[in-house]
Amino acid sequence: MRNLIAFPVIVLAVILQSAVVSRLTLLSGFGDLPMVMLAAWALQDNVDSAWHWAVATGILVGFVSGIPWAVYALGYVLVVAMAKVLRMRVWQAPLLAMFSVTFLGTVLVSVLSLAVLRVFGVAIPLQDAFGLLILPGVLLNLLLAIPVYAVMRDLAHWAYPSLEVE
């Protein structure tokens, strides 16, 4: 039953990403709400379904974007892996872990996307890609990180009641 919550949350995140978040640009960069959502979900204690969420979200985001779904699935699985490692290491400061995973995940997914675009023949100069796409995307994702973390923490408390603090 707990895994069924993934479908509406993932679909809502992808719809919000394609309809709202991708239209809010800074220079040419935009936020990646599904990636930030996955990072926040993977950082929650006792959440064991983050890997499934990463693959499903990667496939769905790849379906609505022009980049192959395997790029997003791989990138999102790597983001979840980073979040799991940081949760074990930085357990005392969950927001620090959230900011770290958001920063590194944004750079990782952006670099993977740019590499695939380069393979397909779209040559974007690295300085332009870094200054106009990646850094603004990092900033927008960091702005999304705190509210998304709060929502995902509440969702984790609802889905996994044993997480309740007494």
pLDDT at position 71: 93
**b/e burial code for range 116-140 (CB count within 10 A of at least 16 → b):** ebeeeeeeeeeeebeebbbbbbbbb
Per-residue pLDDT, 76 = 94
What residues does each domain of the chain span? 2-159
Q: 84 with 51: CB under 8 angstroms?
A: no
Please give the Cα distance from 66 to 54 (Å, whole number).
18
Third-level CATH fold of 2-159 = Arp2/3 complex 21 kDa subunit ARPC3 (1.10.1760)
Average pLDDT, the chain: 87
Residue 118 pLDDT > 70, yes or no?
yes
Model confidence at 163, pLDDT cuts 50, 70, 90, reads very low
**Please, what's the b/e burial string for 89-103 (b: 16 or more CB within 10 A of its CB; e: otherwise)?**
ebeeebeebbbbbbb
Write out pLDDT tens, residues 55-90. Answer: 999 999 989 988 888 999 999 999 999 998 888 876
Residue 77: the pLDDT is 95
Residue 129 zone, left/alpha/beta (φ > 0; ψ -120 to 50; rest): alpha
Q: What is the pTM of this model?
A: 0.88
Report the pLDDT averaged over residues 40-60.
88
4 confidence band (pLDDT: 50, 70, 90): confident
Longest dimension (CA), the chain: 56
Contact between 31 and 18 under an 8 Å Cβ cutoff? The reply is no
Residue 89 pLDDT:
75
pLDDT band at 1; cut points 50, 70, 90: low
Q: Over range 121-126, report the average pLDDT.
A: 85
Range list of H helices, the chain = 6-19, 33-42, 50-64, 69-89, 94-119, 126-128, 135-159
Per the listing, tokens 């750079």 go with: 107
Q: What is the pLDDT of residue 149?
A: 93
Of all residues in the chain, what percent carry a pLDDT higher than 90? 43
Q: d(Cα 50, Cα 127) in Å, to the nearest integer?
A: 34
